[in-house]
Every structure is written in C-alpha cells, then in structure tokens.
Structure 1
Amino acid sequence: MGRAHGMSGISGEWHAVMASEGERELEYRLSLAGPEDTMRGVFFRSTQEAVLAMKGPAAVTDILEEGGGARGFVDFFAYPTKDFLRVLKRAAWLLGGSVGGFDAAMRVLGNLVTSSFLGSLLGNTIHVLFTGTPRRVLENLPMAYKLMMPTGGGLSVVWLGHTHCRIIFERDFLPRSYVEGSLEAHLKKAGARSLRITGRLTGSLSSEYDVSWEP
C-alpha cells in the first residue's frame, strides 16, 4: 500500500482495512495501468504546483519520488499513467489531513490541478475548448479529452436537458473524486451556478457523471 512514512505511523494492516473507497478505487486502477498508458505532463506539473501551494517544497519532493523521481515535465509530452497515479495517491495522503480525508483531497486536487492547467501555456493554447457557457464547455469536452488523454478510451456527453447531462468515460484511469473536482473547476469558471455532479462506476475503467446546474 505504499511506503511506511505515507501512513503516519499507522500499520499497513490497519491501513488496508481502513482505506477509503476512493483510495481502493485508485489502487485498482493503478493495477490495471500498463506501459502503453500515458498522461500529459501538464497533469504532473499542475499537481506539483497544487502541492507546493498547500504543503511546500518538501512535499513536492515527496510526491515526485513516488513517480520515479522526475522533476521537470513538459505539458504536452506523454508520461506513464502509473507514475501519475502514484504521485496523485501520495499527494492526496499529504493533503488529506487538512481537507477532510483522502477522497476530499482528491477532489481538491482535481479542482486545483484544473485551475492551474487553465492558466498554463497549454491551457491558453486550447482555451477555446474551455470558454463560453457551461453547455459549450461540455460540448467541447470530448475533443479536449482526446487531446489531453492520448491513450484514453474516450468520452461522450448525453444531454438530458438544457442544463443537465450525463458524461460517460470509457477506459479512463482518473479516480471519480478527482474527475468531479476537475469538472467543478471547468464549469464554475464557465459560470455554472448551483452545480451538482454525481459520479458512479459502470465498469473496471468506465464511469459516468450526472451533471446539472442552474441557468
């Protein structure tokens, strides 16, 4: 389940029993990631920035050790998904105590990483996909996902009403709580009010999110 210092003195046996649903989900997805599965460097770099802002440089060094020790990431380059999930897990462990636990930390990371991405060079390059009304942002989401997840299985949006949709992910490695935080950041930036996002697993690497907001 990771290195002993990541458990704050708690035994590995106790941690295995008490791990949250979100952490068990991340561990399972990590076990399914192969060498062909990759993530853009912007996910790594933005996670570094989020952890630096909340916990300082020592924590950044800690999370990067989980991802093979690399220090610099090029936003549009592809890096192993396994490394990112390990970095994400460690980051959530470090932040969990101050935000309400592992799953809450994952949502915070999804939100902060997305906010950092939107202000990055890559985010500015493809900003047209993330601007406009909440509906426009969601209509562009499949194209944005294809750009950001080079080995992802795909994303589709089914509209259930003018401000209500279902987002369907296939073969996606990101934990639900992280995705919920990321969607929240995108949609709130687009002006969504009274936003509601509920995710559920539909398969080993598939999930769907019911999203609605006030016009």
Structure 2
Amino acid sequence: METAEMLQLRIRAATDKDMLLGIFFDAALNTLTRLLGEAEVAAIRAEVFGKRSVVSFFRYPAADILQLVEQGVKRSKPGSRSYHQVAMELGRSAAGTFVDSQSGKMMSFLAGDKPHRLLASAPAAYKAVTTFGERSYERVSENSARMHFRADLLGPSWQQGVVEQALGSMSQIRPRVRVEVKNASGTDFTAHVEW
C-alpha cells in the first residue's frame, strides 16, 4: 500500500505548521533501533535531526517523522522491509506509546473496552497530538466502523498500524483493517475496520 512515491509526495506537502508530538518520534526511534541497531539509528538521527534533541511533549515537523520511515526502509537490508511494513510498524509503536501515556490511559478509561467508543474518541485524540489532518468516525454495524482520514500526512500504512495496535491494546480484540486510498499521496483514505 505505502510506496516511496506516496511518501515523497507527503514529505513535500508537509509545511512548517504541520507538527506532531515528540513522543511519537521517541517511539519511532526506539522501534528503528530494534529493527536496525543503535549505530544505524544514530546515523539516521543525525541526518534527520542534526543537533536537535527530541523532547516527548514538544512538537516537531511531521516531515521529520516521514523521513524516519524513509530511512527505516533505505537502511534495512535490501528487500527485507517495504515502505508499508516500516510505516505500519512505526504506527503500531506510536499507538503503543500513546496507550501507555497518561493521555492514552485516560482515553482507555473513558472508552472502556468498547471498540466503537474508542474509535469515536480517536478524532479528538488526533487533534491533541497533531496540527494537521482531519479524522472522522462512522459506525457501520455492531462489529464494524470506518475511520475517514483527510490531509493526513502520516499516511495509510502508519494509520493502519495505529488502528490495529490501539484496538488490540485497549479493546482486547484482533481487528481487520482494510484501507482504501483516495489520492496519489495517500493523505486521504478510509480505514474499514471489522472485529
């Protein structure tokens, strides 16, 4: 689903106003360290951030996290990881880190283990941690829903990982997520979720 071309289009589309909390950068760097090793991630960190440090609750450019996805693929052994796989893995780690945070624990407390309540609260959670994109929730049936993403720079594979991990962690279910991409850059898409 995710391609190099889609990722490049989103990197170019990102502006200085498109920001994301540092907690997700920490999660991405930790995951890349697990996948690639400390030496590779030190090189990636220097390339993407220069001398800047990452603080969990500061905001950083969305383009930087997209460059982490790109570097995660480029620095993997040839053919070992696709853009889709790396983006999904980083999305999963972002969701896992969020679930473990105070905000995630509060969201889990309020939603309980009900998948629909969790998905219905997701658009507000996204607004709290990003400055870009629009998300909405649509209940389809007792065991299915749709999440609509518009102008989402993180892209379909990242968000598929987020949805799968969040529902698995918070609702204790194994969701099936099928993503329908609506444009060339992958900023507009619908996640069809069933459980």
TM-score (norm 2): 0.86
Would the alpha carbon gap of residues 161 and 30 (structure 1) be closer, same or farther in structure 2, given more than 3 Å must change? same
Go from structure 1 to structure 2 and tell me whether the alpha carbon gap of 1:88 and 1:129 turns closer, same or farther (over 3 Å shift).
same
Deviation at 1:181, TM superposition (A): 1.0
Question: 1:38 maps to which residue?
Answer: 19
Go from structure 1 to structure 2 and tell me whether the alpha carbon gap of 1:21 and 1:170 turns closer, same or farther (over 3 Å shift): closer
1-structure distance, mates of 2:32, 2:128: 25
Equivalences for 1:74-89 in 2 at 5 Å? 74-89=55-70
Q: Structure 1 stretches of 5 or more lacking a match?
A: 1-19
1:199 aligns with 2:179: yes
What are the within-5 Å matches in structure 2 for residues 54-133 of structure 1?
54-70=35-51, 72-95=53-76, 100-119=81-100, 123-131=101-109, 132-133=112-113
Structure 1 residues 36, 96: CA separation in 2 closer, same or farther (over 3 Å shift)? farther
Distance across 2 between alignment mates of 1:63 and 1:124: 29
Distance (Å, rounded) in 1 between the aligned partners of 2:81 and 2:63? 25
Which amino acid counterpart does residue 48 of structure 1 have in structure 2?
A: L
Tell me what 1:176 maps to: 156
Is the CA contact 2:92–2:161 (under 8 Å) kept in the aligned structure 1? yes
Structure 2 letter corresponding to 1:124? Q
Whole-angstrom CA distance in 2 between matches of 1:168 and 1:61: 35
Q: Which has the higher contact order (CA 8 A, sep 6+)?
A: 2
What amino acid maps onto 1:168 in structure 2?
H
RMSD of the TM alignment (CA)?
A: 2.1
Match of 1:141 among 122, 132, 137: 122
Equivalent residue, structure 2, for 1:12: none
Distance 2:75 2:154 in 1: 18
Q: CA shift at 1:97, angstroms?
A: 5.0
1:167 aligns with 2:158: no
Q: Based on CA coordinates, which of the two structures has the bigger radius of gyration? A: 1
Residues 126 and 191 of structure 1: is their aligned pair in 2 closer, same or farther, counting only changes over 3 Å? Answer: closer
Quote the Cα distance in structure 2 between the aligned partners of 1:197 and 1:211: 5
Separation in 1 of the partners of 2:191 and 2:162? 12
Pair 198,155 (structure 1): closer, same or farther in 2 beyond 3 Å: same
Shift of 1:22: 2.2
Q: Equivalents in 2 of 1:175, 1:153: separation in Å? A: 10
Unaligned runs of 5+ in 2: none
2:34 to 34, 42, 53: 53
State how far apart, in whole Å, the 2-side matches of 1:96 and 1:105 are. 12
Q: Within 1, Cα distance between the matches of 2:77 and 2:126?
A: 27
Shift of 1:100: 4.2
Deviations 1:40-84 (A, max 9, x none): 111111111111223221122122133232453222211111222
